[in-house]
Chain A
Amino acid sequence: MKKRRFILIGLMGLFLLLTCFFLYNKNSRPVILEFGMFTGSNWDVASANSFKIFDRAIADFEKNHPNVKIHYYSGIAKEDYSEWCARKLLEGKTPDVFMVLDSDFDKFTSLGVMKNLEDLMSSDDSFHKEDFFTTALDTGRNGGHQYALPYEVVPTLMFVNKSLLAKEGIDMPKEDWTWEDMAEICQRVTKDTDQDGLLDQFGTYNYSWRDALYTCGGNLYENNQAQISFTDSRVLNAVKYIKRLNDINQGQSVTQEDFNAGRVAFMPLTFAEYRTYKTYPYRIKKYTKFQWDCITFPADKEGGNTSKVDALLIGIGSKTRHEALAWEFLKQLTYTGEMQMDVYRYSQGVPALRAVASSQEGVDCLQEDMDEGEQVISSTLLCHVIENGIIEPKLLQYQQVMNLADGEVSKILQENKNVDSSMKIFQRTVSKYLQQQK
């Protein structure tokens, strides 16, 4: 009996000793924060400085937190990043802080991989979420909870071929121009210049029914409802407007070559592309044959001059062992003026912090690399576009439905179908599809 008791006590003692040793060992090592990031731009433009921003942020953070090291894998391309993240997740080695691609955000939040930041945000007195662009902040929300903070924002702008308009004697459109204005300009520029019987000068390229929808006050997915209405009058208006623009081209399709050759007046363009190709060194690579600039999208009567806004999100892994540090680092990246200014300095987007985006220093940064005499888009306009921008839901389901809709619209344009009846039929298809997905 006594011997057994000794064995039992011995086992318990051993267990305690092991636990103590484990805890001691754990505490004495420096904290390593894993940071998941990809190399290059989120906006599919060339970027030479992608490491620079984060290296600076990391150096700064490590200086302020002596026992902390930040580790990241370099050289993961954006195309591979989603797979890299997924592999890390499956392996159980989710990074403490990591960038989230739009396509991953919904899946990751529903898997519970991303930490719900609401508590961290409300308990941190030095943090005010009003400092962010509301739209930018909303891109990191899902189901009413904030799961990620925006790092940089990129609105979509309308590229205007200034040389072409000048040649045709048309004034540069104002910031609050309308659908009618654009339709009229398209009508005027669309012509056969070399008299070969084929049109070789066009109004728009890549301008889609979605862009039109955003500017006529339409919203397919209101409040994340599981219903999508394609028979709404504004959706129909948008499709009809696209059809009208398409009809001007007399069935001829516009290509990238036409655009590159300076024969197209308008094209939607992200702010990132605008910055990249408007400034040295990439300025010499594209669009060199003509003068160009960017303005807002034309609006319909009911809508505003708005467009799609994207944001690069950074979140915290839900299983992080260093929650406070991860939050500090996340704030370092997204919430400090210095780091956000680096977005202007080295990246192609707009800082997610409103104050930094509209600061004079920021404007100077943008102006720096411009050609002389070129006027950069004004920061007030930029902020206005971002603040009123449209965020596309990141649900996989939504993207699938939109792809279906894109196909349907292009079919309507090609086969010259009736918009109202085609969309009615399409609505039934979508409803059936959504029903199956549930």
Chain B
Amino acid sequence: MEDNKFNGRIRILQTAILVINIISVMGISIFIYATIEKIRRAYDAREFLNEIQAIVWYPYAKIWLCALLLGFLTLSMVIRDRLFPNNSKVILTSLIADFIACFAIIIELNFNYNGILLLVFSNVILYVKNGKSRYILAAVAIGSFILADYELLSISYRLYSIQDYIAFYSASKQQYFLSVYNIFISLNVILFVAYCVNIINEQQGNIDEIHGLNEKLHDVNEQLQKYSLMAEKMAETRERNRLAREIHDTLGHTLTGISAGIDACIAIISISPEQTKKQLELISKVTRDGIKDIRRSVSELRPDALDRFSLEFAINKMVTDINAVSEARVYFDCRVSNLKFGEDEENAIYRVVQEGITNAIRHGQAKEIWVTMKMEKEDILIQIKDNGIGCKEMKSGFGTKHMKERIRMLNGAVTFDGSDGFIVNARIPIRRGETYD
């Protein structure tokens, strides 16, 4: 887009308008000076004064002033287009400066040439994107172009006219000068129109392009959605296949063995109870192996740090992480020697601690949190205590609901106390007898 804006043709036209304006402005100021010199040499000054309505005050200084202002305009164009093409502040400032310089030139030339306004408008049009401000600008442009007209202003103000200076020459020369003067004015307008047409074309092209791209984007988006659905389905299928394979490989294998063993037991139990006992022992071992296999399979499906580390290490890691990332201090006090429980228990404990800490920080704005864990008979007691704002009335939804559900699933109990800070007390019965280790 940005490169597009300064494409070759527009740039050439812009430069051409600049050149035409420089020639016109310098031409007029030099022509006036030269004519005045000619009048002075011919000693026609007093006679000439009778023909004019206003004086050109400092004709020689005017040439330099015009040159200076034109130089300024060119410099501002270079700064804007080449050095800071994307800095909106520079663009706005330089455009306003352009406008002032251009009016200074028009006033210097006493409104005999207002074509320089077109140069400024051509610059402005390039940068104004917004539709509304573009209309305002167009109104300002047309208004100032009409107002800055010599014929209109010379009614109420004392302005010199280039025509008076042209009229000093002989008739044939007058025609020559007038036509040059008018040609330059027309040329400027023609270039400006060509420039505008180009800009409009360019922008129309851009709009079409954007429309096309938009449609394409829409299509691709739809396709992507289809793909994502398909990918989801495929993942599901893959997972199902894996589960089926696992079940087939472990459970199927074990159960087949068990059922075959039991069949054998049924067959021999009346003949040889001793043999049957041996057989049953064998079946028990197979069953245990099967359970091991299933545990292995299930553990492969487990997420989190828990499947990689021990519970204590996992909780310690979580505490370190929280201490590292938040302002709150968490102290973990574990008085249980061997933290090794069933996976569902480990999961529940881990989650309860995690949620307790999260709640203390999020809802209690606690600065210090103490987590203690100890054994009492066959139960494990977890306490999460903080020094936060607490909670006068218990409301569900502060993450406590999940905690309750989790612990209830393990036949445990949880209590909350929000009177001084916030305390979570959880009691979970451990299935020591059911452990497989």
Binding site for B on A (CB under 8 A): 4, 7-8, 82-83, 85-87, 89-92, 104, 107, 110-113, 319, 396
In Å, the complex CA distance between A91 and B36 comes to 7
- Distance in angstroms from A388 CB to nearest chain B CB is 33
Give the chain A neighbours of B217 by CB distance below 8 A: none
CB-CB contacts of B21-55 with A at 8 A, as 1s and 0s?
00000000000000010011001011011101111
User: Is there contact, CB below 8 Å, between A113 and B55?
Assistant: yes
Q: Which of B49, B56, B58, B83 has the most CB of A within 10 A?
A: B49
Scan residues 43-74 of chain B and give those whose CB is less than 8 A from a CB of chain A.
43, 45-46, 48-50, 52-61
Among residues of B, the one whose C-beta sits closest to the C-beta of A86 is B45
Choose from A8, A92, A396 the contact partner of B58 (Cβ within 8 Å): A92
| CB of B84 closer than 8 Å to a CB of A | yes
User: Is there contact, CB below 8 Å, between A111 and B54?
Assistant: yes
Among residues of A, the one whose C-beta sits closest to the C-beta of B57 is A92
Given known contacts A4-B84, A87-B40, A112-B158, is B59 in contact with A92 (CB within 8 Å)? yes
In Å, the complex CA distance between A158 and B89 comes to 79
User: Is there contact, CB below 8 Å, between A83 and B55?
Assistant: no
In Å, the complex CA distance between A91 and B58 comes to 7
User: Is there contact, CB below 8 Å, between A82 and B83?
Assistant: no
- Distance in angstroms from A195 CB to nearest chain B CB is 52
Given known contacts A83-B46, A111-B52, is B158 in contact with A90 (CB within 8 Å)? no
Given known contacts A4-B84, A396-B50, is B158 in contact with A111 (CB within 8 Å)? yes
CB-based closest 5 A-B pairs: A86-B45, A92-B58, A86-B46, A87-B45, A90-B36
User: Is there contact, CB below 8 Å, between B54 and A82?
Assistant: no
- Distance in angstroms from A22 CB to nearest chain B CB is 13
User: Is there contact, CB below 8 Å, between B79 and A90?
Assistant: no
Give the chain A neighbours of B84 by CB distance below 8 A: 4
Give the chain B neighbours of A86 by CB distance below 8 A: 45-46, 48-49
Q: Which of A8, A86, A107 has the most CB of B within 10 A?
A: A86
User: Is there contact, CB below 8 Å, between A92 and B61?
Assistant: yes
User: Is there contact, CB below 8 Å, between B50 and A90?
Assistant: no
In Å, the complex CA distance between A42 and B60 comes to 33
Among residues of A, the one whose C-beta sits closest to the C-beta of B43 is A83
CB-CB contacts of B307-330 with A at 8 A, as 1s and 0s?
000000000000000000000000
Binding site for A on B (CB under 8 A): 36, 39-40, 43, 45-46, 48-50, 52-61, 79, 83-84, 158
In Å, the complex CA distance between A312 and B171 comes to 39
Given known contacts A83-B43, A87-B40, A91-B40, is B79 in contact with A8 (CB within 8 Å)? yes
- Distance in angstroms from A418 CB to nearest chain B CB is 36
Among residues of B, the one whose C-beta sits closest to the C-beta of A108 is B49
Choose from B48, B53, B61, B83 the contact partner of A90 (Cβ within 8 Å): B48
Given known contacts A87-B40, A112-B158, is B60 in contact with A92 (CB within 8 Å)? yes
User: Is there contact, CB below 8 Å, between A111 and B50?
Assistant: no
Among residues of A, the one whose C-beta sits closest to the C-beta of B160 is A111
Give the chain B neighbours of A90 by CB distance below 8 A: 36, 39-40, 45, 48-49, 55-56, 59
Given known contacts A83-B43, A90-B36, A91-B36, is B49 in contact with A111 (CB within 8 Å)? yes
Give the chain B neighbours of A110 by CB distance below 8 A: 53
30 sampled A-B residue pairs with Cβ under 8 A:
A4-B83, A4-B84, A7-B83, A8-B79, A83-B45, A83-B46, A85-B46, A86-B46, A87-B43, A89-B45, A90-B36, A90-B39, A90-B45, A90-B48, A90-B49, A90-B56, A90-B59, A91-B40, A91-B59, A91-B60, A92-B56, A92-B57, A92-B59, A104-B46, A107-B50, A111-B49, A111-B54, A112-B54, A113-B55, A319-B57
In Å, the complex CA distance between A88 and B38 comes to 14
In Å, the complex CA distance between A82 and B46 comes to 6
Give the chain B neighbours of A113 by CB distance below 8 A: 55
- Distance in angstroms from B84 CB to nearest chain A CB is 7
- Distance in angstroms from B427 CB to nearest chain A CB is 65
Give the chain B neighbours of A89 by CB distance below 8 A: 45, 49, 55
Give the chain A neighbours of B46 by CB distance below 8 A: 82-83, 85-86, 104
Give the chain B neighbours of A82 by CB distance below 8 A: 46
- Distance in angstroms from B367 CB to nearest chain A CB is 45
Give the chain B neighbours of A107 by CB distance below 8 A: 49-50
Give the chain A neighbours of B49 by CB distance below 8 A: 86, 89-90, 107, 111
- Distance in angstroms from B73 CB to nearest chain A CB is 15
User: Is there contact, CB below 8 Å, between B59 and A112?
Assistant: no
In Å, the complex CA distance between A90 and B43 comes to 11
Among residues of B, the one whose C-beta sits closest to the C-beta of A104 is B46
In Å, the complex CA distance between A247 and B40 comes to 49
Give the chain A neighbours of B40 by CB distance below 8 A: 87, 90-91
In Å, the complex CA distance between A223 and B223 comes to 93
Among residues of A, the one whose C-beta sits closest to the C-beta of B45 is A86
Give me 14 other A-B pairs in contact (C-beta within 8 A), A87-B43, A111-B54 excluded.
Answer: A4-B84, A82-B46, A87-B45, A90-B36, A90-B48, A91-B36, A91-B40, A92-B60, A107-B49, A107-B50, A111-B52, A111-B158, A112-B158, A319-B57
Give the chain B neighbours of A83 by CB distance below 8 A: 43, 45-46
In Å, the complex CA distance between A94 and B140 comes to 38
